[in-house]
Amino acid sequence: MVFSIGNNYQIVPLNQIISLDTLLAPLQSNHQATIADVIKLVIQEDNHPPLYFIFAYLWNKLFFDRGEYVSLEGMRLLAVFWGVISIPLIYFISKLVFKSGLIAFLSAILMAVSPYAVFISQEARHYTLAVVFVLISLGCFLRASSKIIDHKRISHTLVFFWLIVNCLGLLVHYFFSLTILAEAITLLLILFKQIQQKNFWITNWWRLSLVFLGNLSFIIIWFISFVPKDYGNQMTGWIQRDNDSFLAVISPFFQLLGTLITMLSLLPVESESLIIILISGAIMIGFFLWIIPQLKTAWLDSYKSELGILSAFFLSSIAIFFVITYLLLIDITRGARYSFVYFPSVILILAILLDNCWQRKQKRIVIIVIIMALVSSLSVTFNLGYRKYYRPDKLVTTIENNSRYPLVIATSYRSLVQVGEMMGIAWEFNQKFPDKNPKFILVNPEQKPNFNLSSSLAFELWLINFHSSIDLSDCQPSELSSNYVTGYEYQKFLCGRSMDYNSKVK
């Protein structure tokens, strides 16, 4: 979001006490910024390609560039917009590929009510736009695959369009390359089968090779020309596999399985009520014990070649995820959002299977599945599923309810992630308690501190997710009933030489 308006995080000082306005400076409207500024910032300071940020810049300029700060709601609406676009898009692609109005309708309904789709639409990020390009690429892939199987010529128009779509997808998210790789693996499986049957047409395969060679060339040129040498050093540490414990070995399977489940069903298993959690879990287990045999029957009864192609693509995607996780030691299964790579294929497979159920007069199955997905999407909407890990609004309320003196809030700096976390806290103070005006410190242990907590005036020091050394000789810890609030561990200290420690705030 910061890069989308032409600002950067470097204007936020480290290792010194700063004001709320200074911390929120990256979110201030920048009317002088251009698209070129946005592209330069993203390439130099972020781990993502620039296309979504360009769209976000234009979106903000057209509709929301009015106030002192960027509109958070407006920027979130862009992700929602692309999520909404994916619904009619999957309908028309399904209608074109499968020649079935029912499959098209079911795929659109499933896309609309999928809890996973709601989840990735809730944040001001690029995953819904990535899904749009995955959908279009899959449409080209299925179209080309059917022509190969039917021994029909693949047009130059399809080849060129597919190549352009894939290049644009790579400019949305680099993991789009995993979608391209899964498509390539699936096509190779088709090629091997045709070679065994001595039944392949070299012209089609030559044209398909142009798509993937073109994509490979684009990736090489882009990374050599634009991507910094230290790409990924700061913001990808959280997905590095750093131990060989039994839990580390088995967790990727369950993480990926959990993501797959939530593409169809996610009841309030993250509720604060244990009873609701148990009931929701029991219903979900019962639902899948019932639906899996139904879908298996539909699978065995289906005659569509596209089902086999999509299944091969899906399995190839899963295999790629595990290869990256176990061989490259980068656990991308930890991020559910990365499953945008194959998410549309899951929706299309489900639509084909439910179409089979409907044709076999098993309409009850279709209705129950849609109801389950709808209720699950509402669970995500009301933050009872895929709960927001960081809730600065709750932390700020806790601080406000337990403070009497001026505030200094500090955290340890490791990457831009911590700057964003503190900006979220500052934003909530600015919105809810504008008169509070707390101070902030981002402590980088690798740099010399430029602040002193010694003061003749009383103040409160709140350490948030703090893992650094700091001089607390003039401070005394305060007792609170809890030291954790939705993603934030905190410690409260009462500081200042004039502090009356006998009147601590409990």
Share of the chain above pLDDT 90, in %: 56
171 in Cβ contact with 130 (< 8 Å): no
* Token representation of residue 281: 């879990």
Q: Which of 358, 381, 404 is the last residue of a domain?
A: 381
Report which of 349, 420, 335, 352 is spatially closest to residue 116, judged by C-alpha positions: 335
Question: Which segment of 216-230, 247-261, 371-385 scores lowest on mean pLDDT?
Answer: 216-230
Whether the pLDDT of residue 222 is over 60: the answer is: yes
Angstrom distance (rounded) from CA 46 to CA 8: 10
| 20 within some domain | no
155 and 282 housed in the same domain: yes
Q: What is the pLDDT of residue 505?
A: 40
113 and 184 housed in the same domain: yes
Q: What is the pLDDT of residue 65?
A: 73
Average pLDDT value for residue range 137-161: 93
89 in Cβ contact with 104 (< 8 Å): no
210 and 319 housed in the same domain: yes
Pairing of strands 488-495, 459-464: antiparallel
354 and 404 housed in the same domain: no
| 63 within some domain | no
Runs of H (alpha helix) within 302-391: 305-326, 343-359, 363-381
| 6 within some domain | no
303 and 416 housed in the same domain: no
Average pLDDT value for residue range 2-21: 88
474 in Cβ contact with 495 (< 8 Å): yes
Split at pLDDT 50, 70, 90, the class of 351 is: very high
**Is pLDDT larger for residue 97 or for residue 452?**
97
Average pLDDT value for residue range 462-479: 84
* Residue 228 burial (CB count, 10 A): 13
Report which of 423, 451, 261 is spatially closest to residue 346, judged by C-alpha positions: 261
Report which of 113, 93, 94 is spatially closest to residue 369, judged by C-alpha positions: 113
Report which of 175, 209, 200, 86 is spatially closest to residue 139, judged by C-alpha positions: 86
230 and 287 housed in the same domain: yes
| 195 within some domain | yes
Average pLDDT value for residue range 322-350: 93
Split at pLDDT 50, 70, 90, the class of 500 is: low
Whether the pLDDT of residue 89 is over 60: the answer is: yes
**Is pLDDT larger for residue 244 or for residue 383?**
383
Bridge partners (DSSP) listed for residue 330: 240
Q: What is the pLDDT of residue 506?
A: 38
Average pLDDT value for residue range 94-104: 95
3-state secondary structure of 195: helix
* Residue 465 burial (CB count, 10 A): 16
| 338 within some domain | yes
> What backbone torsions phi and psi does residue 242 show, to the nearest 5 degrees?
-120, 10
Which element (helix H / strand E) includes 166? helix 156-170
Q: What is the pLDDT of residue 437?
A: 87
365 and 483 housed in the same domain: no
Report which of 68, 59, 1 is spatially closest to residue 29, judged by C-alpha positions: 68
Report which of 3, 140, 9, 145 is spatially closest to residue 418, judged by C-alpha positions: 9
Report which of 85, 97, 88 is spatially closest to residue 158, judged by C-alpha positions: 97
Whether the pLDDT of residue 502 is over 50: the answer is: no
According to the per-residue pLDDT averaged within each range, which of 199-203, 277-281, 436-440 is highest? 277-281
pLDDT digits (tens, 9 = 90+) for 473-499: 788 888 775 688 888 999 999 887 655
Q: What distance separates the 2 farthest-apart alpha carbons in the chain?
A: 89
| 46 within some domain | no
Q: What is the pLDDT of residue 217?
A: 95
| 11 within some domain | no
315 and 355 housed in the same domain: yes
Alpha-carbon dihedral of residues 242, 245, 246, 249, nearest 10 degrees? 20
Supply the range of the domain harboring residue 415. 392-503
162 and 260 housed in the same domain: yes
Q: How far is CA 282 from the centre of its chain?
A: 28
pLDDT digits (tens, 9 = 90+) for 327-338: 988 889 988 999
398 and 354 housed in the same domain: no
Share of the chain above pLDDT 70, in %: 93
107 in Cβ contact with 58 (< 8 Å): no
Q: What is the pLDDT of residue 202?
A: 87
Average pLDDT value for residue range 7-25: 89
| 257 within some domain | yes
152 and 225 housed in the same domain: yes
Half-sphere exposure at residue 197, Cβ-oriented, CA atoms within 13 angstroms: 10
**Average pLDDT over all residues of the chain:** 89
Conformation bin of residue 361: beta by default, left when phi > 0, alpha when psi is -120 to 50: left
* Token representation of residue 293: 């045999």
Overall domain count for the chain: 2
Q: What is the pLDDT of residue 20?
A: 93
Q: Which of 381, 408, 435 is the last residue of a domain?
A: 381
Q: Which of 354, 381, 408 is the last residue of a domain?
A: 381
Residues 6+ apart with CB under 8 A from 75: 1, 4, 56, 59, 60, 64, 124
348 and 404 housed in the same domain: no
